[in-house]
Structure 1
Amino acid sequence: MLSDFPTLLGAGLVLLGIFYLGFLSLKINFPGVILYIIFGVVIADWLHHNEILHFASEIGIVLLFFLLGLEFSVKRLGSIAKKIWPSGLLDVFLSLGVSMLIALGFGMDLFTAFIIGGIAYATSSSITAKLLDDKSRMANRETEFMLAILIFEDLVAPIVIAVLIGLSTGGDFAPTDLFYIMAKVIGLIALAIILGKTLFKHFERFLDRIEDEDFKIALLVGIAVAFGGLALWLGLSEVLGAFLAGMMLAEIGKIEKVEHTVLPIRDLMLPTFFVYFGTSVELGEGFPMPVFLATLLIWSMIAKVLVGIIGGRWYGLSKKVSLRAGLSLCARGEFSVVIASIATGTAKVLGGIYVIVAAFVGMVLFDQAPKIANKVYGKKKPKKKDLRVPGS
């Protein structure tokens, strides 16, 4: 029986599948992330509870955001936070609020509509960050704005999840619960800042004294995973914890030393996250409420584009760059899956189908964003060089 696969054999076959799909994606020029997710959906019945796959996927996503956090020192993150909150609130209203109203308009009760709004809210941090890296867009002008939106969503999404879990278990979500969550978020951020300014202030010199690369891997991966795990223990997102761990080390002089050590581990582990993500999506049978599903998909894409167009301008980006940012924020992912798992019946199936389609459409829009922006606003013409010989 395939369902009786030993855990180790299943993990090995997944790695071989990742190798083949990665090779195939290069040959056919198709995003590998989509192939990994589809692969996960196909093997879901066999490997959904594979512990090694789950552990590797956690390590992969933690290291992705740990390396992202390295790009943001405390000073830089503080200046970004001051600029991003209006755009973040616009995102909450358009992506969560209006999606809730659409669900209510299709006859859903308030609780189910809240679940639908939560599913449609958060951009996939993992997919977006991976595509930014794959497409060599990390240095683009819109990337800082996009990452700021992702971090804002990673702060809001745990609150949404906590509210939904409280309501789904029949409990009441009191204002004190919201205060408790915000206190944990602020406390974790404060801890990261304090450690970055004290314990890790001279970390670079300590790192230089470690000659064995294996020990460096254990140290750096251990820091990232421990802080991500601390966030999970507090009931927050491991993505937020990993990002803050990277931010702690951003205070050192040369982050290239950390990147050089961690990158190979991240590149090995990260594809397993998307495979495991695929195994966690529940599709059910058939397409319930197709008109509602199509309406939700169309609006949720429009909402993110509007967040980019309007929020990007508030952030100080040009019209063209703002459009490119909005088109690149459409993929939904891990938080949507977590929220969909709280749902029951039709809403659960709707959530599974929505996540797969939104992830696919979002990745396509990300890939086409530069071309669409160039078509709408025109491509910047390169300046002509003066080739005259001096003195002629």
Structure 2
Amino acid sequence: MIVDLPSLLVAGLILLGIFWLGYLSLKIKFPNVILYILFGVLVADYLTHNEILHFASEIGIVLLFFLLGLEFNVRRLAGIATKIWPAGLMDVVLNIGVVMLICSFFGLDLLTSFLIGGVAYATSSSITAKLLDDTGRMANRETEYILALLIFEDLVAPIVVAVLMGITSGDSFTTMDFLILIGKIIALTAGAIVLSKTLFKHFERFLHKIDDEDFKIALLIGLALSYGGLALLLGLSEVLGAFLAGMMLAEMHKIEKVEQTVHPIKDLMLPTFFIYFGTTIQLGDGVPMLGFLIILLVWSIIAKMLVGILGGRLYGLSKRLAFKAGLSICARGEFSVVIASLATGVMKIFAGVYIIIAAFIGMLLFGQASKLTTMVYGKPPKKKKQDLRVPGT
């Protein structure tokens, strides 16, 4: 029998759990993100439908991408966009197209194959960004490529979700529906660019006049949540909206003021996303289609490594940095969970098992990326540090 605990008690216990797991990760030198996800799996029966946890997790992920957006003003984002599309298309072909072919060899129908391809496609933006931040790699040369690829995936993944939702709901998903979806993405992005050049052009001067830190918190987090919420209202991803909200303020000369205000709230809320992610993984009574699962996991790692190595070279990275980038983008996460939720029966269990194993392997590869790169290419030459900032510093 599951006891219905007061929401306040549940919130307190979650925060205490976050503290204990974070402290434990420091002691055993193990990624705290994995511990948060496993904690969510263990308490899933108690927290699956907890609205407070769900809402807190959304705030955490929105603030993470808001801070990331601060690093990309319009000019820099435009420069990245012109360079990332070849690697982005390669990512789609290898992680959706090839996975669909693998599914067909195992006798799965076209819809199920497309669904599994969607689950295997997107690198976890939240896990990858959190690990980049935690390990101090945000200023590394290959990180720009990784973040650009994540942004590309965050544009493609909502389209995949929308198509699957249209098909699985029984309604016909027409070419017009697809064009409308693309139009929404363009409109949301264009709106952010216009606002950054008009309404927020003198935002830094306005922010400097606000002495009360409480008002700053309300203003900045309100902006992040509002644009993220607007994206949801349009049927898009809240992380895309949050990133664009950060981009609106990226024209400021001293974004550190914004980062220092928002960063503590993000640090408090973000672990709840990974806990909530864990509660969505329903392991069921066993692992179905074990052979297919192993093949899919192996290909998932190979495909992302190819995207990192070949796509990174197309982006302009050295062989060394491209290899390191490939090792850093193997974790699957939040979009995979959203797509897996559209599955039913055995395929839903299969997708849940795949996601948690892929997230675990991806985080381990990320943690060993520097060491494995050194083993392959030797010690890196000493270079001057780039003038890039880590959110919150």
Q: TM-score, normalised by structure 1?
A: 0.96
**CA deviation vs aligned residue, 1:164-216 (integer Å, no higher than 9, x gap):** 11111122211111100000000000000000000000000100110000000
How far does the alpha carbon of each residue in 1:56-100 deviate from its partner, in whole angstroms, 9 at most, with x for none? 111100000000000000000000000000100000000111011
Q: Which residue of 1 aligns with 2:336?
A: 336
Indicate if the aligned counterparts of 1:330 and 1:362 stay in contact, CA closer than 8 A.
yes
Give the drift of 1:12.
1.2
What does the per-residue CA deviation read over 1:299-325, in whole Å, with 9 as the maximum and x for residues that have no partner? 011100000000000000000000000
Question: Match for residue 226 of structure 2?
Answer: 226
**Which residue identity is paired with 2:20?**
Y
For the residues of structure 2 that align with 1:268 and 1:214, how far apart are their CA atoms? 16
Alignment match, 2:237: 237
User: 1:155 is matched with which residue?
Assistant: 155
CA deviation after TM superposition for structure 1 residue 3, in Å: 3.8
Q: 1:382 to 1:146 in 2, by over 3 A?
A: closer
Equivalent residue for 1:67? 67
| Distance of 2:8 and 2:100 partners within structure 1 | 43
Between Structure 1 and Structure 2, whose CA radius of gyration is higher? 1
Q: What secondary structure, in the 3-state scheme, does the structure 1 residue paired with 2:368 have?
A: helix
The match for 2:84 is: 84
Which amino acid in structure 1 is aligned with residue 150 of structure 2?
A: L
Q: Unaligned stretches of 5+ in structure 2?
A: 384-393
**Conservation of the 8 A alpha-carbon contact between 1:10 and 1:50:** no
1:136 corresponds to which letter in structure 2?
A: G
Q: 2:369 matched to which residue of 1?
A: 369
Q: Distance in 2 between matches of 1:382 and 1:195?
A: 41
Contact 1:40/1:274, CA 8 A, preserved across alignment: yes
Structure 2 CA distance, aligned partners of 1:256 and 1:72?
A: 14
Match of 2:387 in 1: none
Deviation at 1:253, TM superposition (A): 1.3
**Equivalent residues in 2 for 1:161-310 (5 A)?**
161-310=161-310
Per-residue deviation, residues 347-387 of structure 1 (Å, max 9, x unmatched): 1011000000000000000011111111111112559xxxx
3-state SS of paired residue (1:142): helix
Is the CA contact 1:281–1:352 (under 8 Å) kept in the aligned structure 2?
Answer: yes
Give the Cα–Cα distance (whole angstroms) in 2 for the partners of residues 51 and 8 of structure 1: 12
Given that 1:66 and 1:246 are in contact with CA atoms closer than 8 Å, whether structure 2 keeps it comes out as yes
Counterpart Cα distance in 1 of 2:382 and 2:228:
44
Corresponding residue for residue 121 of structure 1: 121
Deviations 1:323-355 (A, max 9, x none): 000110000000000100101111101100000
Deviations 1:241-265 (A, max 9, x none): 0000000000111100000100000
For the residues of structure 1 that align with 2:215 and 2:166, how far apart are their CA atoms?
A: 43
State whether residues 3 and 47 of structure 1, in contact with CA within 8 Å, keep that contact through their aligned partners in structure 2.
no
Counterparts of 1:173 and 1:382, CA distance in 2: 53
- After alignment, is 49-58 or 135-144 more displaced? 49-58
**Structure 1 residue 2 displacement after superposition:** 3.7
Looking at structure 2, the residues matched to 358 and 264 of structure 1 have their Cα atoms a distance apart, in angstroms, of 29
Gap runs ≥5 in structure 1: 384-392
Report the AA paired with residue 359 of structure 2: A
Task: State whether residues 44 and 280 of structure 1, in contact with CA within 8 Å, keep that contact through their aligned partners in structure 2.
Answer: yes
Report the 3-state secondary structure (helix = DSSP H, G, I; strand = E; otherwise coil) of the residue aligned with 2:141. Answer: coil
Does the C-alpha gap of structure 1 residues 200 and 382 become closer, same or farther in structure 2, counting only changes over 3 Å? closer
Q: Distance in 2 between matches of 1:371 and 1:99?
A: 29
> Mapping of 1:18-29 within 5 angstroms?
18-29=18-29
Residue of structure 2 in register with 1:390 after alignment: none
Distance in 2, matches of 1:337 and 1:292, equals 19
Farther-moved stretch of structure 1 (5-14 vs 134-143): 5-14
Q: Number of matched residues?
A: 383
Residue 351 (structure 1) aligns with = 351
For residues 380 and 142 of structure 1, the distance between their equivalents in structure 2, rounded to whole angstroms, comes to: 13
TM-score, length of structure 2 as denominator length: 0.96
SS at match of 1:252: coil
Q: Which amino acid aligns with 2:372?
A: I
Q: How far apart, in 2, do the equivalents of 1:380 and 1:249 lie?
A: 35
Cα distance in 1 between the residues matched to 2:156 and 2:86:
14
Q: SS state of the match for residue 343, structure 2?
A: coil
The farther-off stretch of 167-176 and 130-139 is: 167-176
* Residues 1:382 and 1:65: Cα distance change in structure 2 (over 3 Å): closer
* Map of 1:389 onto structure 2: none
Residue identity matched to 1:61: I
Counterpart of 2:129, as a letter, is A
Structure 1 CA distance for aligned equivalents of residues 228 and 314 of structure 2: 31
Deviation at 1:282, TM superposition (A): 1.7
Please give the alpha-carbon distance, in whole angstroms, between the structure 2 residues aligned to 1:255 and 1:380.
31
Distance in structure 2 (CA, Å) of the matches to 1:285 and 1:122: 27
Paired letter, 1:303: A
Task: Please list every run of at least 4 consecutive aligned residues from structure 1 whose deviation after the TM superposition is greater than 3 angstroms.
Answer: none
Cα root mean square deviation, aligned: 0.9
> For 2:97 and 2:132, how far apart are their aligned partners in 1?
28
- Corresponding letter in the other structure for 2:7: T
Task: After TM superposition, give the deviation of residue 52 of structure 1 in Å.
Answer: 1.3
